[in-house]
Amino acid sequence: MMLPVVFAGVAAAAAITNRQLPTAPDPLSACPGYTASDVQQSAHGLTASLKLAGTACDAFGRDIEDLKLTVNYDNENRLHVKIEDAKSIAYQVPESVFPRPDASASVSAEDAALEFSLTESPFAFAVKRKDRYWPSILLLLSAAADILNSGEVLFASGAAPLVFEDQYLRLRTALPKSPNLYGLGEHTDPFRLNDTDYTRTMWSRDAYGVPYGTNLYGNHPIYFDHRVASGTHGVFLLSSSGMDIKINQTSDGQQYLEYNVVGGIVDLYFLAGPTPTQVSQQYAQVAGLPAMMPYWGLGLHQCRYGYRDYYAIAEVVANYSEANIPLETMWTDIDYMYDRAIMTTDPDRFPLDRVRQYVDVLHDRHQHYVVMVDPAVAYSTTRDKNQSYGTFNTAAEKGYFLYKDGAIFQGVVWPGVTAYPDWFHPGAQDWWNAELVDFFSADKGVDIDALWIDMNEAANFNNFGEDPLETEKSGGFPPQRPALRDQPRPIFGFPAEFQPGSSPYPPDSWSYAPPWLAAPSDPNHGKRQASSVSRKRQTASPLVSRKRQTTGPAPNASAIGFPRSRDELLAPKYQIQNANTVAALGGLSNKTLDTDIVHYDGHVELDVHNLYGSMMSTASRNAMLARRPNRRPMVITRSTFAGAGKHVGKWLGDNLSQWDQYRFSIAGMLGFAALYQVPMVGSDICGFGGNTTETLCARWASLGAFYTFMRNHNGDTSIPQEFYQWPLVAESARKALDMRYRLLDYIYTALHRQSVDGTPSLNPLFFVYPGDAHVAAIELQFFYGDSVLVSPVTQENETSVSAYLPDDRFYVFDTWEKVEGAGAEVTLDNVGFTDIPLHVRGGTVLPLRAKSGYTTTDVRKEPFHLVIAPGRDGKASGSLYLDDGDSVEQKAVSEVAFAYDGQLQITGSFDYEGRVSRITVLDSGGCASDGCEYDETRRVATYTMDMKLGPVTLSV
Ligand SMILES: *[C@@H]1O[C@H](CO)[C@@H](O)[C@H](O)[C@H]1NC(C)=O
Ligand SMILES: *[C@@H]1O[C@H](CO)[C@@H](O)[C@H](O)[C@H]1NC(C)=O
Ligand SMILES: *[C@@H]1O[C@H](CO)[C@@H](O)[C@H](O)[C@H]1NC(C)=O
Ligand SMILES: *[C@@H]1O[C@H](CO)[C@@H](O)[C@H](O)[C@H]1NC(C)=O
């Protein structure tokens, strides 16, 4: 989380200031472009030399005279186009962070679905779709007749001359009018991107309130271009450099998309599709297949910033069970730490013994526990009671932190002055492993089940050029610890130490510790003083040079990439629209790491800034595996780069308790799950910042039940919003969780499939109905899996929603009433505050659990209830994947296929046991055998049985 409110207005102001910067005459108009020569056909593509075609314009750096172009048909559906400087000096995303996709199945140009063509002078290239691949998708798209328009041009760089400088790249493609473009996250802008006057900036940023139209925490430079009847393709620019991607029209109406990148190279992957799902699958081959998360991770998670002590944690757990709202996992934010220092516990509010005790209670009940860890390490050699702070000391001694001008770079995060791990240091992983293995030891530490990592953009409360010690003081870091208290109420189900009278402090009735309640009578007040004294003492130590050097030698010669002066690293001439930038010098470094920092291996922070969160993600997943080698790690991060889904899940950051953010959460989630291959994703339910309302939280509880990652979380200054706080919200949560938990294996199967071949587990409507032009802009409805259409009420105080039903057959979830979609909007009325409309797409066999349970462990004991929802052709199909839900290597799995065509056929492998207790056939003419009840009005036949899941054909 971040400091609330204070920075929100500032970010917005910064964005406005940016846009008001006076515009000089366009320095790019004089850029000469390139001429291609020496074009050599290769077995799987071609190479060519590019030479600057005139006088250098040096618009935002120095033009590079000689370039080389490499084109490779990586496989039938993927084309790789790389333009780099002839000497390969320019920075390229390191293989260690983004392993290059497998090109061992490269094909000849003739065998590829896409066609690359080039014009030598002025140099330009185009990527076309070949028509002869269309017949294979005639079956998939309904508007079959339109498809035969051949040779669709997907990308045409002739729209503007290529500019390739040491600190700036410009590449523009012409596009058809009114394109349907998606992706280029992370953002909170419309799911279908604006086509005019639109800038998407890529620069990781701690973005409190996830403001509209600004750069946020992570970066995924891939877009999907959906041309309905002419197919869908994807374009991925493999670059971690800061950039502005502009989507706009020229004054004479030519539509374009333009990359403006602060360095690096042009490294493009074209994905042929032609269906949206295939583009996702093809992108997964480039970015990597997402990690499978543990089954329990799909349960309900409860968190907040401001659970002040172990009583607060225990009480929330007890309140959930008293309210009979299934709670799977309890979380703790940075409150558990001693003065906000990672790898410590507060000895009074979260003493390790008590923490271990409540974790034991949770584990005994098959519940789970998760805490937050930040990358920044308190710049302190000691922690409480003058114990040595090994986390800092080891990394400082071994040089694992980031350095600037020979001293550890200092920022300010929650504990005050901090140092930042350098993930490029070859020793950093082992250090991080050792820290996590020790602190989160099952035998003597905080025995977490999953890990939450935050502030990894990397976030820094210290503005560029300010004195960290001053900022620590003026910002009051670490914040005052809340007063100690005795628990005022008995907490059912917890040991004596958690009951009233077990500690010598006065009771108070507040579960939380918002600042306005943090009494000054802190019995341990003196400790903070002591710790800041000890921090001050370090100022004199030789390890520490607190003075920031504003001038100094340029980074050493071993820096990777084109040599750039310090000013060029701090203030690249092309200024991207980073919302934290006010002044050019240091604007990119503002509230993060200084961009002139050179990492241990020579990488320059300006080039690798956008990788920090993903590198911490990988290191953290590895550390969790070192801690529990046989169990699937679940790591939830804030900052991501392309490919992060291989290692982590993602929550959508510090949103606000507002209706627009409730609505936006759908597009945010779909971006990560369907476009960026990070399928474990969700927003903070009921909102993080500000105060929620009863009806917003009630609606959000039901919508959140259809996020893959379902967590209620809010900030320390917000009112409590656990689902039991209001009867309406509790009821909404119970009803939605009942549906979610019955559907757990359905979504787990979808997540498994995505981890195997990249098929999205959550789907925008245009993924399921690519031929229907009306669904291209829909962002308030989505498919959970590919068969359950979710159409939440999206306006405050409304109890109806206008939802689009594609031209297909649907069934209302649970009542199983048949609804014929007409490819039109319908009004769904009387949707109470505890309800959410769900429709099952005809053609589906849905494997439900027969009943929900309090925990996912209980749910897994239930047999299956198969719901057969025939399509208009009378057929249905579905699948089910079963395993133990937790092991990295599975001993036994079942992969089951269901096919219905008057009879239900079950085939597949059945090594992991499952049972079926009920089969419900929708739109049925009557019972086909014994043990069946038929409801004539609803046309629903229900068969009861006790059947082991195995190969069988049933008349139902
Ligand atoms: C979009 O193009 C128009 C001219 O056609 C220009 O005035 C405007 O500044 C451009 N917007 C962006 C974000 O580049
Ligand atoms: C997108 O376009 C709409 C309509 O022109 C505009 O109101 C909105 O501000 C634009 N959004 C962004 C993020 O540019
Ligand atoms: C950093 O952000 C602050 C606002 O929070 C602003 O006052 C300052 O000018 C910015 N610094 C730079 C270098 O952009
Ligand atoms: C949230 O509610 C609390 C308690 O009523 C109040 O003190 C606080 O100012 C509210 N916050 C906002 C952002 O309205």
Q: What pLDDT digit, counting tens, does each position of 669-698 carry? A: 999 999 999 999 999 999 999 999 999 999
Confidence at 537, pLDDT banded by 50, 70, 90: very low
Q: What is the 3-state secondary structure (H, E, C) of 23-92?
A: CCCCHHHHCCCEEEEEEEEECCEEEEEEEECCCCCCCCCCECCEEEEEEEEEECCEEEEEEEECCCCCCC
E strand or H helix that includes residue 226: strand 220-226
**How many whole angstroms separate alpha carbon 625 and alpha carbon 375?**
18
Look at residue 666 and tell me whether its pLDDT is greater than 80.
yes
What's the rounded mean pLDDT across residues 714-739?
A: 97
Mutation test residue for ligand 4: of 686, 719, 721, 725, the one with most atoms within 8 Å of CB: 719
Percent of the chain residues past pLDDT 70, beyond the cut: 91
CA of 259 to the centre of ligand 2 (A): 19
Tell me which ligand sits closest to the C-alpha of residue 245.
1
Mean pLDDT of 786-795: 98
Inter-residue contact 167 to 568 (CB < 8 Å): yes
Residue nearest to atom 13 of ligand 4 (CA): 690
Average pLDDT over every residue of 701-708: 99
Pocket test for ligand 3, best of 588, 590, 594, 596 (most atoms within 8 A of CB): 590
N- to C-terminal Cα distance for the chain? 53
E strands, 238-388, in order: 243-249, 255-261, 266-271, 301-302, 329-332, 368-373, 377-378
- At 142, give phi and psi (nearest 5°): -80, -35
The pLDDT value given to residue 518: 56
Q: Is 690 left (phi over 0), alpha (psi -120 to 50) or beta?
A: left
Within 8 A by CB and 6+ apart from 670, the residues are 191, 762, 763, 764, 779, 782
199 CA distance to ligand 1 centroid (A)? 9
| Active-site residue, from 654, 745, 835, 895 | 654
Question: Ligand 1: which of 189, 248, 255, 257 to mutate, most ligand atoms within 8 Å of CB?
Answer: 248
Q: Tokens for 785?
A: 């899996």
Read off the pLDDT of each residue in 510-514 and give the average, rounded to a whole number: 75
Catalytic residue among 454, 684, 722, 808: 454
Residue 654 annotated in active site: yes
Ligand 3 pocket member 582 (CB < 6 A): yes
265 CA distance to ligand 3 centroid (A)? Answer: 29
What does the pLDDT read at residue 341?
Answer: 98
Ligand 2 pocket, residue 488 CB under 6 Å: no
Give me ligand 2 centre to Cα 193, in Å.
9
- The full length of the chain comes to 956
Q: How far away, in angstroms, is 248 Cα from ligand 1 center?
A: 6
CA of 581 to the centre of ligand 3 (A): 6
In the predicted model, what is the mean pLDDT of residues 485-489? 91
Enter the pTM of the model: 0.94
Tell me if 189 CB under 6 Å of ligand 2.
yes
Confidence of residue 538 (pLDDT cuts 50, 70, 90): very low
Determine the atom of ligand 4 nearest the C-alpha atom of 4: 13
690 close to ligand 4 (CB < 6 Angstrom): yes
Is 58 part of the annotated catalytic residue set? no
CA of 755 to the centre of ligand 1 (A): 40
State how beta strands 711-712 and 301-302 pair: parallel
For the segment 293-304, the average pLDDT, to the nearest whole number, is 98
12-287 is classed CATH 2.60.40.1760 = yes
Q: Per mean pLDDT, which range of 2-6, 592-596, 826-830, 909-913 is the poorest?
A: 2-6
pLDDT of residue 763: 99
Say what the pLDDT of residue 509 is.
81
Ligand positioned closest to the Cα atom of 460: 3
Q: Is the CB of 581 under 6 A from ligand 3?
A: yes
Quick one: which atom of ligand 3 is closest to the CA of 581?
14
pLDDT, one tens digit per residue, over 378-412 is: 999 999 889 999 999 999 999 999 999 999 999 99
264 close to 248: Cβ distance less than 8 angstroms: no
Quick one: which atom of ligand 1 is closest to the CA of 248? 1
Burial class (CB in 10 A: 0-12, 13-18, 19+), 658: middle
In angstroms, the CA 33 to CA 160 distance is 8
Look up the CATH superfamily of 758-955. Golgi alpha-mannosidase II (2.60.40.1180)
Spot the catalytic one: 346, 457, 786, 895. Answer: 457
Look at the alpha carbons of 441, 444, 449, 452 in this order and tell me if their dihedral is positive or negative.
Answer: negative
- Cα 540 to ligand 2 centroid, rounded to whole Å: 53
Helical (H) or strand (E) element with 124: strand 124-129
pLDDT (average), residues 69-89: 98
SS3 767: helix
Torsion angle of the four alpha carbons 637, 642, 643, 647, in this order, in degrees rounded to the nearest 10: -10
Ligand 2 neighbour 213 (Cβ under 6 A): yes
User: Does residue 517 have its Cβ closer than 6 Å to ligand 4?
Assistant: no
Residues of the chain with CATH 2.60.40.1760: 12-287
Choose the residue to mutate in 189, 194, 245 for probing ligand 2, maximizing ligand atoms within 8 Å of C-beta. 194
* Ligand 2 pocket member 198 (CB < 6 A): yes
Q: For 464-481, what is each residue's pLDDT tens digit?
A: 999 999 999 999 999 988
Listed in order, the ranges of the chain carrying CATH 2.60.40.1180 are 758-955
Residue 14 banded pLDDT, cuts 50, 70, 90? very low
Distance 579 CA to ligand 4 centre (A): 27
What is the average pLDDT score of the chain? 92
Average pLDDT over residues 172-199: 98
Q: Is 595 near ligand 3, meaning CB less than 6 Å away?
A: no
Name the residue at shortest CA distance from atom 14 of ligand 2.
Answer: 198
Q: Mean pLDDT over residues 305-312, rounded? A: 95
- Tell me which of 463, 567, 581, 593 to substitute to probe ligand 3's pocket, judged by most ligand atoms within 8 Å of the beta carbon: 463
Residue 789 has a pLDDT of 99
- Which residues, 6 or more positions from 562, have their beta carbon under 8 angstroms from its beta carbon? 89, 90, 91, 166, 167, 263
Q: Which of 5-9, 208-212, 585-589 has the lowest mean pLDDT?
A: 5-9
Share of the chain above pLDDT 90, in %: 88
* Nearest protein Cα to ligand 1, atom 9: 197
Give the Cβ contact number of residue 233 at 10 Å. 28
Q: Which two tokens stand for residue 70?
A: 């490499």
pLDDT at 142: 44
pLDDT tens-place string over residues 119-173: 999 999 999 999 644 444 444 554 444 444 458 999 999 999 999 999 999 999 9
6 lines ligand 3 (CB under 6 A): no
Handedness of CA 92, 96, 100, 103 (dihedral sign): positive
Which atom of ligand 3 lies nearest, measured to the CA of 13? 4
Under the banding of pLDDT at 50, 70 and 90, the label for residue 568 is very high
- Residue 554: predicted pLDDT: 39
Q: Does residue 590 have its Cβ closer than 6 Å to ligand 3?
A: yes
How many whole angstroms from 452 Cα to the centroid of ligand 3?
Answer: 29
| Nearest-atom index, ligand 4, CA of 691 | 1
pLDDT per residue as tens digits for the range 640-653: 999 999 999 999 99
Q: Residue 522 pLDDT more than 90? A: no
Average pLDDT on 609-614 reads 98
Categorize the per-residue pLDDT at 1 as very low, low, confident or very high, splitting at 50, 70 and 90: low
Residue 10 has what pLDDT?
A: 39
**Quick one: which atom of ligand 1 is closest to the CA of 250?**
5
What is the CA(512)–ligand 4 centre distance, in A?
14
Q: Closest ligand 2 atom to the C-alpha of 199?
A: 14
> Is the C-alpha dihedral spanning 462, 467, 471, 472 positive or negative?
positive
Output the CA 511–ligand 2 centroid distance in Å: 42
Tell me whether residue 457 is one of the annotated catalytic residues: yes
Concatenated DSSP letters for 404-466? ETTEE--EEETTEEEE-B-TTSTTHHHHHHHHHHHHT-TTTS---SEEEE-STTT--SSPTTS
Ligand 4, atom 5: nearest CA belongs to which residue? 719
Count other C-beta atoms under 10 Å from residue 236's C-beta.
24
